[in-house]
C-alpha cells in the first residue's frame, strides 16, 4: 500500500508489517550499520536491484546439481555401513582413502553451498555502502 506524502515532494511511503523477530532484526541491523531503519531499507532496496535475488535461477540450479552429489556421498556411506553390519568391512587402514575421499567431497560441497548463500549478502552490503559498526548477535547476522 503506497500513499503520497503531501509535504515531501517526489517521495512516497509505504507500510511494512513485520513480526516482532523481524523488527528486532531490523533494529539490530540498523544499529550495527549505523544508519536509521528507513535508510537501511532504502539502501538495501537500491542495492538489491544490482545484486539480484538471494538465490538466483543459476544458484537454485547449482544447488539442485549439488544435491545429486550429496546423494552420492550418502550412498557411499550407506554401502560402508552395510558392509560393517555384514561383517565385511575392511580395516581402518584399508578404508582410510575412502573416508578421506568422502571428507574431501563433503568439504567441497560445503564450501560451494556456503559461497552460494553468503556471497549475495556480502555483495548486497558492499553495494549498499553498509559497513558493520557493531557485531550482530549470532542468530541475527545479516
Per-residue model confidence as pLDDT tens digits over 5-41: 455 678 888 899 999 999 999 999 888 888 899 988 8
Nearest to 109 by CA among 72, 57, 56: 72
As given in the structure block, the three cell numbers for residue 111 are 564450501
- Cα–Cα distances (Å) from 90 to 8, 72, 74, in that order, read 76, 20, 19
pLDDT of residue 19: 94
Q: Say how many domains are in the chain.
A: 1
Between CA 127 and CA 46 the distance in angstroms is: 9
C-alpha cell at 122: 556480502
pLDDT digits (tens, 9 = 90+) for 96-116: 887 788 788 888 877 877 776
Q: Are 120 and 40 in contact (CB under 8 A)?
A: no
Look-up of cell digits 538466483: 56
* 23's grid cell: 523488527
Name the residue range of residue 85's domain. Answer: 2-140
pTM (2 d.p.):
0.41
Give residues with Cβ within 8 angstroms of 70, minimum separation 6. Answer: 109
Kindly give, in sequence order, each residue whose CB lies less than 8 Å from that of residue 40, ignoring residues fewer than 6 positions away. Answer: 26, 29, 30, 33, 130
Which residue blocks in the chain are alpha helix, DSSP H? Answer: 20-33, 37-51, 57-86, 92-128
Amino acid at each position: 500500500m503506497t500513499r503520497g506524502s503531501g509535504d515531501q515532494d517526489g517521495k512516497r511511503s509505504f507500510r511494512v508489517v513485520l513480526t516482532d523477530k523481524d523488527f528486532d532484526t531490523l533494529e539490530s541491523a540498523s544499529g550495527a550499520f549505523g544508519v536509521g531503519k528507513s535508510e537501511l531499507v532504502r539502501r538495501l532496496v537500491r542495492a538489491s536491484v544490482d545484486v539480484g535475488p538471494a538465490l538466483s535461477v543459476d544458484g537454485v540450479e547449482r544447488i539442485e546439481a549439488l544435491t545429486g552429489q550429496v546423494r552420492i556421498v550418502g550412498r557411499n556411506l550407506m554401502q560402508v555401513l552395510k558392509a560393517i553390519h555384514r561383517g565385511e568391512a575392511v580395516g581402518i587402514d584399508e578404508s582410510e582413502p575412502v573416508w578421506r575421499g568422502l571428507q574431501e567431497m563433503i568439504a567441497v560441497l560445503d564450501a560451494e553451498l556456503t559461497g552460494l548463500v553468503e556471497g549475495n549478502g556480502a555483495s548486497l552490503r558492499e553495494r549498499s555502502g553498509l559497513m558493520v559498526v557493531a557485531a550482530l548477535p549470532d542468530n541475527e547476522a545479516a
